[in-house]
A and B are shown apart, each in its own frame.
Chain A
Amino acid sequence: MLRAVIGIALAAALVALPHGLSFSQQEILVFLTINVLLVASYRLLTLTGEWSLGHVVIMGVGAYASALFTKQLGLFVPLSMLLGALTAAAVAWALSFPLFRMKGFYFLIGSFAAGEIIRLLWKRFRDPFGGPKGLKGIDPMPDFSIGFYDFDFFEPVSYYYFAGTVVAVCLWIMWRIEHSPVGLTFHAVHWQDKLAQASGIDVRAYRTRAFVIASGFAGLAGALLAHYIGTINPNSFDVEVMVFVLTWAIVGGTATFYGPILGCVMLTVLNEIVLRELGFEQMRPLIYGAVMILSILFLPKGLESVVERLVGPRRARA
């Protein structure tokens, strides 16, 4: 009962939120919504214990694929977004063959190398990827109406509602996956991989599954981004963005579903509202770096551990 009330209040607040913001803040809100999907999908990937450095490039695969489906084949935008997500998942599946021969540090470096190769291919091949300048003039979402609300995608508010709905559905699916037998097996593979293997679980197959599913959602996030900003290039998905995702996950903590989302929201608010308003734009990487170091030194379990401590005694659950 209490949870339902909280849920409805949260949903109402999220619907009302953009109307109190300026135009540029509304745009940031759209990026934040997409980033929430990205970081939540990243957590799904880390459930099996492997940390990838190629996740943002996989997001880029979804963005490039969806943009090319509309540009070259003239597909309907929402359909091409879904196909973009499927392409990202398919690329991840292909990459899983070399990558999951590795673990830990080697997987980290291997995923980094695989991501860089994809990025260099975008850079090298002007046709169809547009080379270093990337793709421009990507078709926007076509406007539509659902009776009581007209979606006009020149307005960030409309795109926020559209992307927000997509992201909410994706989060719900990811939550269901994590609490299904498959998701519980992901946890087992992470914490007890020898035992899981001895119990007849194909550890590598489950790692691949987590990787492919997470990549599909990351690809969808990329497609949402591409059709919003209309232009993408290889540097939109470089390692600096990956570092931001990593920071969100580390600062928020990855033990709970909401941890990385919390990290993403808090750091975006800190960055956009506080730093930009105060004129510290140039110091952004410096502050991100410092926050990253301070949180790993003093809050190694992330912001979520603070939340757990505050509400912990009453709701002592895993």
Chain B
Amino acid sequence: MTELLAQTGLNALYAASYISLVAVGLVLIFGVMGVVNFAHGELFMAGAYAIVALYADIGVPFLAAVAAGLVFVGGLGLLMERALFRPLRDNPLGGLVASIGFLMILQALAVMGFGVRMEHIPPPTQDVIVLSEKVRLPVSRLVVIVSAVLLLSALWYFLKRTRFGWALRASAQDPEAAALQGISINQTARIAMFIGAALAGVAGALTAPLVSVNPHMGHSVIVTAFIVIIVGGVGSLEGAVVASVLYAFVHTIVTTFYDGVVADIVGLSLLLGVLVVRPTGLFGTADRA
């Protein structure tokens, strides 16, 4: 029993790592831009396909392909900022609708480029760390966990300790006051979109060999990310990380003892429950709507 729990815990930790990368990016975009990026799951998918194209098809080393995926998906984020969210800045519903349109375009491009079938990606390493007879941690999962911790720490340092980070947080709190202080709204929007999208891309790239890569994989990712950001409190980065861990543990445990669909139902019920009882989430503040 202890071993089963330990293994479930490790699985949950792995799930929490990539979920928090996705969710933190989504929160960052919402905080700075004020739009709900429905295409976030498809940015994750684009990161996974960067691995298909570079690592599985051409044979670029795995971590180099991940880095390329990060830059590529970050670039998609910049494109979205310039072409969609900037012209629609005064129209929050418009930004949401435009991101749904962008989602469909990315999905159709993936279908046209790679087909609807599932991609098989050979894992970069088959090594497994054997902790005990029944508790094992594949190295490829450890890579995801370590990368998530490193990236989120780097983001935390950037936001709390650098000038750009200060500017970003200032314009998230009050765009007009920030603009009056000489902070360029367009520039902070660009940085936020690049980082937010790149985090989703990295999560997709890192997990590509471990999940089934297909053009419609973004759907479950965005559903999970919504659950996490609502439970954590929209606009709260710390909340998103804590809620990712919480959600990953609940989901993994329910999946282990019942099945995946029940776990999804439990997750969505958690979301509805939080919305009814405490709409600001665990860490949100009331004035952020």
Chain A interface (Cβ within 8 Å of chain B)?
Answer: 51, 98, 101-102, 104-106, 108-110, 112-114, 116-117, 120-121, 123-124, 239, 243, 246-247, 250, 282-286, 288-293, 296-297, 300
Bound form: Cα–Cα A297–B88 in Å:
7
Number of A-B contacts (CB under 8 A): 111
CB–CB B108/A106 < 8 A: no
A89 to B264, CA, bound (A): 25
B268 at the interface (CB under 8 A from A): yes
Contact for A250 among B87, B97, B107, B276, CB less than 8 A: B97
> In whole Å, how far is A170's beta carbon from the nearest beta carbon of chain B?
26
B265 touches A120 (CB 8 A): yes
- Of A123, A124, A289, which contacts B104 at CB under 8 A? A289
In contact, A109 and B111 (Cβ under 8 angstroms): no
The reply to whether B36 and A105 form a contact with Cβ atoms under 8 Å apart is yes
Binding site for A on B (CB under 8 A): 36, 84, 87-88, 91-94, 96-98, 100-105, 107-109, 111-112, 219, 223, 226-227, 230, 234, 261-262, 264-265, 268-269, 271-272, 275-276, 279, 289
Docked-complex contact A114 and B272, CB < 8 angstroms: yes
Report the 10 A-B pairs with minimum CB-CB distance, sorted nearest first. Answer: A289-B104, A286-B108, A292-B101, A293-B101, A289-B105, A289-B101, A285-B108, A285-B104, A113-B268, A124-B261
Known: A105-B289, A282-B112. A98 touches B268 (CB 8 A): no
Cβ of B276 and Cβ of A283 under 8 Å apart? Answer: no
B88 touches A120 (CB 8 A): no
A243 CB contacts on chain B under 8 angstroms = 100, 104
- Least CB distance from A231 to B in Å reads 21
Residues of A contacting B: mostly: helix
Q: Which residues of B contact A291 (CB under 8 A)?
A: 101
* B227, closest chain A residue (CB): A113
A109-B227 Cα distance, complex, nearest whole Å: 9
Please determine whether B94 and A300 come into contact, CB atoms closer than 8 angstroms.
yes
CA distance A293 to B38 in the complex (A): 13
A297 touches B261 (CB 8 A): no
Closest Cβ neighbor of B277 among chain A residues: A101
Contact B101 A102 (CB under 8 A): no
| Inter-chain contact A286/B272, CB cutoff 8 Å | no
Give chain A residues whose Cβ lies under 8 Å from the Cβ of B269: 117
Q: Which of B103, B223, B230 contacts A116 (CB 8 A)?
A: B223
B97 & A246 in contact (Cβ 8 Å cutoff): yes
Determine the residue in chain B with the shortest Cβ distance to A244: B104
Q: Which of A101, A116, A289, A300 contacts B108 (CB 8 A)?
A: A289
A109 touches B226 (CB 8 A): yes
Smallest Cβ distance from B31 to chain A, in angstroms?
Answer: 13
